[in-house]
Amino acid sequence: MEHQGVSPVTEDRAGNFPGPPWYSRALSDPSTWTVSVTQNRALNFYHLVYRDVVLETAEEVQAWGRDLGGRIVEGGRVDLIINLGGLTVKPAFLKLYDDIRQDLIARRVRRVYRYGGTPAVRTKLITSATLHAQAPNVFATYEEALRALEADRANDLADKR
């Protein structure tokens, strides 16, 4: 399925993106980071892909928050689409992870859409979103998440008319 004349992105077996023309630039080097952050300038959102990220200590969760917060451009709030497929947070640190995630959302994110991930991660995100009066926006695929982002933007425009 195409979105506004753009072919959807698919990952190879290693979780890499082939670099379709509408991805204008990578903001980080995926070979040196465990979270790939790519800006889609054409559609004005950031796409995050986790690769084998296992947060097992408070220090790792805090480092994750600093790293991610530092890689999302300062200024206006942004939209995110996140592939959760490579993210694991150990149960003992889920509350800290959620607190840091909520702080990032409050300061830097307008809307967030997620796809993939383990059932435990998806359930935690849906529960947290409900508790914080946020839309959970958890989907099976990238394409579904992108369609939801586009629909929400269209609804925002319709509401302003």
Domains and CATH numbers, the chain: 25-160 (3.30.750.24)
Run of H or E residues at 129? helix 119-131
Residues 6+ apart with CB under 8 A from 2: 8
For residue 12 the two structure tokens come to 């190879």
| Full pLDDT tens readout for the chain, 161 residues | 333 333 334 444 444 444 433 333 343 343 444 678 888 888 889 999 988 788 888 988 888 888 888 877 666 688 999 998 888 888 899 899 989 988 988 888 889 999 988 787 788 888 888 888 888 899 989 999 999 999 999 988 777 76
Q: Is the pTM of this model over 0.85?
A: no
CA 92, CA 138: separation in Å to the nearest integer? 23
> What is the longest distance spanned by two Cα atoms in the chain?
48
CA 78, CA 111: separation in Å to the nearest integer? 7
Distance of CA 10 to the CA centre of its chain: 15
